[in-house]
Structure 1
Amino acid sequence: VFLITMAEVQKEENELVKPPMLTSVALRETTNQMEGGEWTHPLPIGCRASIKWRDGKHHMAEIIEKRQDEGAWSYYVHYVEFNRRLDEWTAGTNVDMTDVQKPNKKGPATDLTSSTDSTPGRKLTRNLKRRYDEINHVQKEEDEAKSALEKEHEEITKVKNIDVIELGRYEIDTWYFSPYPEEFSNTPKLYLCEFCLKYMKKRKTLCRHKTKCDLRHPPGNEIYRKDSLSVFEVDGKKNKIYCQNLCLLAKLFLDHKTLYYDVEPFLFYIMCDCDSHGCHMVGYFSKEKDSPDDYNLACILTLPPYQRKGYGKLLIAFSYELSKKEGKVGSPEKPLSDLGLLSFRSYWTRVLLEILRQHQGNLSIKDISTMTAIKTEDIIATLQSLNLIKYWKGQHIISVTPKVIEDHLKTSSRQPTLIDPEFLHWVPYQMDTKVKK
């Protein structure tokens, strides 16, 4: 069974920029006892309590939902110091009833402050706010509509509807809600065919399906094969059901993915580890067939059992090899997930450091972009994070010595396995421009 531990998640999240947590002083402003007595079940939604996790340690969590089964209460909780991927149902017996904090009915403060004001925290007057909105072309109606949609999405997806999936030889704990049809939701375990991704509620149904399913690899064209590594290109229009199933599977591990059924405008690149039993999916990325913003990647996922093995960087490297074939520079669609951002930063850092180490003589950012197919904005941001670039007389200047490069390479991730262009057999997608007569 593949499980993710609190320690692993904490290590990942220490590398991310996180919003400030509530201070211990603020938390103590709420009482951990009901007026006139101890807390008893059921606890109210919105309160916080110390919850015993699988590692035997207690962690502060917020109660999102509750249910009663045969007289026993259980709670769906969000651990306040960790990503939503660890949200789960837990038995009431895991709650420390001596450490419960009342829900904050007032809610978070909503004072509007100007991020551009020279006085920190200064409130905007009505006139100042209107002028600020006019200057910055703030579309109030669009913002309100977007905010309403985000709240609706958060409400719908706040509780995971599937706990575990069985995919090939792995049982995988899910991270997030995914909009599978209602009859397949709210089930502790979902069974998936690892080749066609059809989903079933019972193991015996999966066993029957295996005798009939003749797929041993993703549909579509195999465009890359070297040793046991293979990549298939799948057209969302030609293989609609497969791609929809893929998106539903991906949503179990991606918090903000919203595309599930409108797959026709996309191409999907499925990376597989192949053996005598077939080609087993390790991850995938998608890209628009026609991206006006030159995005070379729309969505990326490495399945949890294959994470921390270099497949994420391989998927990223593959997306840039396709961009080179197209003769374009590319960039991933924003915003990236937290793990996606970490993978891209790591990939960009390693590629740029290797370029700077190997190149002799003058080298411009545009030259690097042409060599790597990485967009100039991503190059500049990465070099700035490494303090290897300066802004002088209206232009960015790369300022680096061989020793500085070697020092950075020592602290960066190990040299990733690269995609070999000789084994890539692919022609860029051509949009149908024929006009009906």
Structure 2
Amino acid sequence: MSDLETRVPQIGQRATCSWRDSTKHKGEIVERRLKGSSAGGAPPSGSSAPSGSGSPKPDKPYDYEYYVHYVGFDRRLDEWIGSDRIDLTSIEVVQKRASPNDQGRTRGRGRPPSVNPPGAAHGHGSSNDPAILKLEKEHEELTKVKNIGAIQMGQYEIDTWYYSPYPDEYSGIPKLYVCEFCLKYMKSINTLRKHNSTCTCTRPPGDEIYRDGNVSVFEIDGNKDPLYCQSLCLLAKLFLDHKTLYYDVAPFMFYVVTETTQKGATVVGYFSKEKNSSEGYNLACILTFPQYQRSGYGKFIISLSYEISKREGKAGSPEKPLSDLGKLSYRSYWTLILFRLFRDRGDIDVEEICRETAIKVEDIISTLQHKDMVKEWKGQHVIHVEKSKVEEYLKRTERSKIRLCKPECLVWQPKEGTK
């Protein structure tokens, strides 16, 4: 065995790593721990421990497990792996980015000290304020490592994607057990079973404002049901890669989508909305839980947010900046709605589109520019609709069933004084 193959990989180094499907990808070592330690997340997948590895002073690659970020891929794919999945001959050093608090701290362990910097938009947006950017950078460094490996929720076991600031005593456990109705979280299956025997909750709190078959939507005031909303946010954070987090749920309304079974109404996804958004945002945070993704709920939730905006009598827009995935989801929805309008109405100007759809003018223009359908003439935006292009897009898109909010199923009106 060469010297390269016995050298222990260090944090910040990169090497060729094997995925679970045995394909090779460049990975950066974000953290490492002694083999058998559970701190900082779930144990590695597909790693084998050689016999006799419990030496008093670990100095071999196989004495450790390594938390790896695959370069060029989303952080949700980050994972703990053993040295048997690292090509030790391919290790290279990369320049470590400066971090304000690197000295004397353990990375990715427990709850970060500053998760809601002053002035941050409750973790949904971003800021150009240098002080806030610095805090966000610190937060990103502190939350690089997933602290929970998987969740058990109803019949589903789901691998987590990102760090979530659950209380410290839950950090580092391989699996978190979550009640699918009240969202209470527990460390063991026995505790969950005991909880299930006494839990009387069969649906989210709040008012049911939508029902179509087995799909319902519940409107929940963060000020009235803070415990449920905080549990929802903690659960959602395992699958959302926001730079900062929000804990003060009081300024938000939550719209929780459920599917009803014989047992009750289980959570499918949700969106949150700031009660008083000075920027006119109609959605702060959106998530379809992984077990229900690719079932059309993303468009359904987006369309629900716009149907509510229509009834409020004002145009809305999602909180910016959007993630790459968020941009794709919204652009897909906006394009579908605009093209259907062009097909059914023919020529229609931007202001009229805004009034009919509640989509903000800037979002309409950016969507049409992306489709090369906006021309400037005498300082004004003029829509140039190619009928064949519209028909071809809709023919291709509408081959599969599209799930949108049905206005007739929504029992909701704005409260007095909120229009």
CA contact (8 A) 1:331 1:375 kept: yes
Which TM-score applies when normalising by structure 1? 0.80
Q: What corresponds to 2:58 in structure 1?
A: none
Q: What corresponds to 2:75 in structure 1?
A: 84
Gaps of 5+ in 2: 37-53, 55-62, 99-126
CA contact (8 A) 1:346 1:412 kept: no
Q: Secondary structure at the match of 2:365?
A: helix
Q: What corresponds to 2:95 in structure 1?
A: 104
CA contact (8 A) 2:136 2:243 kept: no
Trace 1:167-316 onto structure 2 (pairs within 5 A).
Answer: 167-256=153-242, 258-316=244-302
Give the counterpart of 2:17 among 51, 57, 68: 51
CA contact (8 A) 1:61 1:80 kept: yes
CA contact (8 A) 1:254 1:337 kept: no
CA distance in 2, matches of 1:202, 1:91: 26
> Shift in Å at residue 410 of structure 1?
3.7
> Shift in Å at residue 412 of structure 1?
4.0
CA contact (8 A) 1:44 1:103 kept: no
Q: Secondary structure at the match of 2:183?
A: coil
Which TM-score applies when normalising by structure 2? 0.83
CA distance in 2, matches of 1:243, 1:41: 47
CA distance in 1, matches of 2:254, 2:199: 21
CA contact (8 A) 1:230 1:271 kept: yes
Paired AA for residue 400 in structure 1:
V
CA contact (8 A) 2:151 2:157 kept: yes
Q: What corresponds to 1:68 in structure 2?
A: 34
> Shift in Å at residue 418 of structure 1?
2.3
Q: What corresponds to 1:151 in structure 2?
A: 137
Of 179-188 and 419-428, deviating more is 419-428
Paired AA for residue 28 in structure 2:
E
CA contact (8 A) 1:48 1:61 kept: yes
CA contact (8 A) 2:9 2:88 kept: no
The answer on 1:318 being equivalent to 2:318 is no
Q: What corresponds to 1:392 in structure 2?
A: 377
Which gives a bigger RCO, structure 1 or 2 (Cα 8 Å, sep 6+)? 2
Q: What corresponds to 2:39 in structure 1?
A: none
Of 36-45 and 278-287, deviating more is 36-45
Post-superposition Cα deviations, 1:95-143, rounded to whole Å, max 9, x if no partner, equal: 11121112336x69xxxxxxxxxxxxxxxxxxxxxxxxxxxxxxxx974
Paired AA for residue 423 in structure 1:
C
CA distance in 1, matches of 2:260, 2:323: 28
Number of corresponding residues: 364
> Shift in Å at residue 260 of structure 1?
3.5
Q: Secondary structure at the match of 1:62?
A: strand
Give the counterpart of 1:166 among 143, 152, 167: 152
Q: Secondary structure at the match of 2:300?
A: helix
Q: 1:65 to 1:257 in 2, by over 3 A?
A: closer
Paired AA for residue 17 in structure 2:
I
Q: Secondary structure at the match of 1:234?
A: strand
CA distance in 2, matches of 1:260, 1:380: 31
CA contact (8 A) 1:269 1:285 kept: yes
Q: Secondary structure at the match of 1:74?
A: strand
CA distance in 1, matches of 2:323, 2:198: 37
Paired AA for residue 292 in structure 1:
S
CA distance in 2, matches of 1:272, 1:428: 22
CA distance in 1, matches of 2:401, 2:380: 31
Q: Secondary structure at the match of 1:98?
A: helix
Paired AA for residue 78 in structure 1:
H
Q: What corresponds to 1:121 in structure 2?
A: none
CA distance in 1, matches of 2:28, 2:139: 19
> Shift in Å at residue 66 of structure 1?
0.5
Q: What corresponds to 2:117 in structure 1?
A: none
Q: Secondary structure at the match of 1:417?
A: coil
CA distance in 2, matches of 1:163, 1:69: 16
Q: 1:318 to 1:397 in 2, by over 3 A?
A: same
Gaps of 5+ in 1: 1-32, 109-140, 433-437
CA distance in 2, matches of 1:92, 1:431: 61
- Identity score, percent: 55
Paired AA for residue 82 in structure 1:
F
CA contact (8 A) 2:139 2:244 kept: no
Across the aligned residues of Structure 1 and Structure 2, the Cα RMSD in angstroms comes to 2.0
CA contact (8 A) 2:139 2:243 kept: no
Paired AA for residue 421 in structure 1:
P
